[in-house]
Amino acid sequence: MLFSEDIWNQWVARTEDKFERKSYIHFDHPFDFVKRQNEIKSFFTTSGKISKHSFLPLIKIITKTPRFKFQDDLREYGLETKERPISFASHLDTFLYGFYSYALTEVYQKYIKDRGFDDCVLAYRTDLNGKCNIQFAKEAFETIRAKGPCTALALDIKGYFDSIDHTILKSMWCRVLGQLSLAPDDYAIYKSLTKYAYVKQSTLLKHFGLKVRGKNIKKPSSYSNILKGKTLSEKLNSLREDDVIVVNRAHEVLANGKKRYFGIPQGSSLSALLSNVYLLEFDEFMFKIGQERNFVYRRYCDDILIICPTRDATDIQKIIIDTIRNDFHLTIQDKKVEMIEFAFNSKKQIRAFNLKKISQDLPSQLNSSNEQRYYKNLQYLGFEFTGQTILIRNSSLSRYFRKMRARIVKTIGMAYGKRAVSDRVFKEQILHRYTHLGKRNFLHYAYHASQNEYRVRKGIRTGMDSPAIRKQLARHFQIIFKSLSIKNSKRFAFKIASGKGTKFKKI
C-alpha cells in the first residue's frame, strides 16, 4: 500500500482546503470529511481493510453536449451531440479513491521524471506548478513558431476509457510501483475499477418512480432509504435481482479462445490517473523516437499532438496508429486525424494549411489566388492557431453563446412566471455566469488567455498575449444586453397577445 504520514498529511491539507460537502444522491449519505478523516485513514493503515471493503455500485449518467462540427463528407457544418458517460462513486469510496490517486500520482510522476519524458504528459498531474490548457497550448504554438515550416498531427483515441485493457493496465500499474504483482489491497482497488458495478441513474429513477412525465419529484437523501431490505447488502441484492445493477464484463474472444476484458469507468480521480498509467510504455516509446527523429510529442489524456518535419508526418502517423492498435488495443480513426502543415504563404508568412486536402486535390502550386482555400487552423486544447494568431475555438464560442441565450430565455420566462414578484428581470446570475464580471466562468478564462500575464491565487501565469482573442470577446456584453432586451420584449408581447395582462419588466 502507498500510505505514508507525509503523503497523508499533504492529501488531507489539499482536501480540507477545497472541501465542499458533496450533496449528490448515492447509496450512502454525504458526510463531513473533517469529521471522518480518521476513519478514512484507517483503510490505508490497517492491512487488509481495503481488500475486505465492499465498494458500492457507481451511479452512471450520460452527459450530452451539442456542438457544431465541420462534416468533411458533406462539406458543411452540422450539429451533432457528443455523449459522455460519467460515473460517480459513493461518498466514502470517492475519498478512498481520492487518497489512493494522490499517492499513486506521486509515484507515477517520479517514474516519468526519472526517465525524462515528464514533459510529454499534460493531463491529471499535480506537479506542473498550476499550469493549465492556456500554458500547454501556448507552448505548443511557440514550438511551431520556433521550428518554422513543419507539420502538426492531432490525433484522438476513440472511446479511450471504455477500451482500456485490464491486463495491460495491471502490468503498467505494477511497473509504476516497481512490483511483479499488486498487493491484496492494491488489487482490490484495481478490481473495483475493472470489474466495476454500476447503476444507470435514469434506470434507477424510473425503477422507483422518481421521474414522472419528465419531471423529477422529491428525491430521498440516499437511494438506500427506498430500497427493500434491512441491511445495505440486502438492499443492493434486491437491485441485482431486478437487474438494475450492471457489472462491467466487456470483452472480446481471442483466436486462442481466451477472453480479453476491457473498460474502466470515467469520472473518478483514480480513473483519470490510470488513463496516464495505461499509456506509460507508449509515452516513453514516443518520447524516445521523438528524440531520434526530431519531433515533439504531447498527450493530454486521449488527445495526441505531434510537431514534426513535414516529410515525416505520414510515417509518424502510421507508427502511432499501428502501435496504439497492436500493442494497446486502442483505436485512432484515420479520417479524424488532423494534418496541419505550417508553411510560407504568398506573403512570406507562416500559415496553417490543410495537408490532407492539399494531398487530395494535388494543386499544381499554391499561390495568392488559391491558397486561402487550403487554410485550416490547428485546433488544440480549446484554442486555434493560424500560424500568425491565436484564437478561441469557434465551437467553444458557439457553445458559450448557446448556453448564454438558453439561460436568458429561462430567466425571462421566470420573470413573467406566476411566481414572479418583482417588476424587473433578475440578470445578476446571467452576468455572473456569462460575463467577465463573474469568476471561474468561460469568459473569465478566455480573458486570462488573451492577456500577456494574469494573476491567480498561487501567483502569476503566462497568457497567450492575443489581441485576436480580445477582439473575439469584445462585444459579449452588448450581445447579452441586446439578447435580454429582445427576449424581454417578445415575452411581454406574447403575454399581452395571450390576454394575460402583465407589466413590462425592467432590465
For 404, list phi and psi in degrees, rounded to 5.
-60, -45
Distance CA 26, CA 29 (A): 7
- Taking CB atoms within 8 Å and a gap of at least 24, the contacts of 220-229 are 220/25, 221/25, 221/29, 222/25, 222/26, 222/27, 222/28, 222/29, 223/25, 223/26, 223/27, 224/27, 224/28
Do residues 434 and 399 touch, judged by C-beta distance below 8 A?
no
Task: Annotate 64-90 with DSSP letters as a single string.
Answer: EEEEEEEETTTTEEEEEEEEEEEEE--
Q: Could you report the per-residue pLDDT of 140-191, keeping only the tens digit for each?
A: 999 999 999 999 999 999 999 999 999 999 999 999 999 999 999 999 999 9
Q: What is the mean pLDDT of the chain?
A: 92
Distance CA 39, CA 55 (A): 16
Give the residue among 250, 253, 275 at the shortest CA–CA distance from 261: 250
Q: Could you report the per-residue pLDDT of 101-153, keeping only the tens digit for each?
A: 999 999 999 999 999 999 999 999 999 999 999 999 999 999 999 999 999 99
Distance CA 119, CA 298 (A): 8
367 CB-near residues (< 8 Å, 6+ apart): 346
339 CB-near residues (< 8 Å, 6+ apart): 151, 152, 153, 313, 317, 354, 355, 356
Distance CA 361, CA 205 (A): 53
pLDDT, position 262? 98
Q: Which residues of 139-154 are buried (b: 16+ CB within 10 A; e: fewer)?
A: ebbeebeebeebbbbb
Helix, strand, coil tally for the chain in percent (to 5): 50, 20, 35
Determine the angle formed by the axes of helices 269-278 and 280-293, rounding to 10 degrees: 50
Write down the residue that cell numbers 490532407 correspond to.
Answer: 356
pTM: 0.92
Neighbours of 453 (CB within 10 A): 10
pLDDT, position 498? 86
Asked if residue 75 has pLDDT above 70, the reply is no
Q: Could you report the per-residue pLDDT of 325-342, keeping only the tens digit for each?
A: 999 999 998 788 999 999
DSSP state of 332: B
Q: Which amino acid is at 439?
A: K
Q: Which residues pair with 306 in a beta bridge?
A: 153, 297
Neighbours of 312 (CB within 10 A): 17
Q: Could you report the per-residue pLDDT of 225-279, keeping only the tens digit for each?
A: 888 888 999 999 999 998 999 999 999 999 999 999 999 999 989 999 999 999 9
Task: Give the C-alpha distances (Å, rounded to integers) separating 287 from 136, 169, 180.
Answer: 17, 20, 25
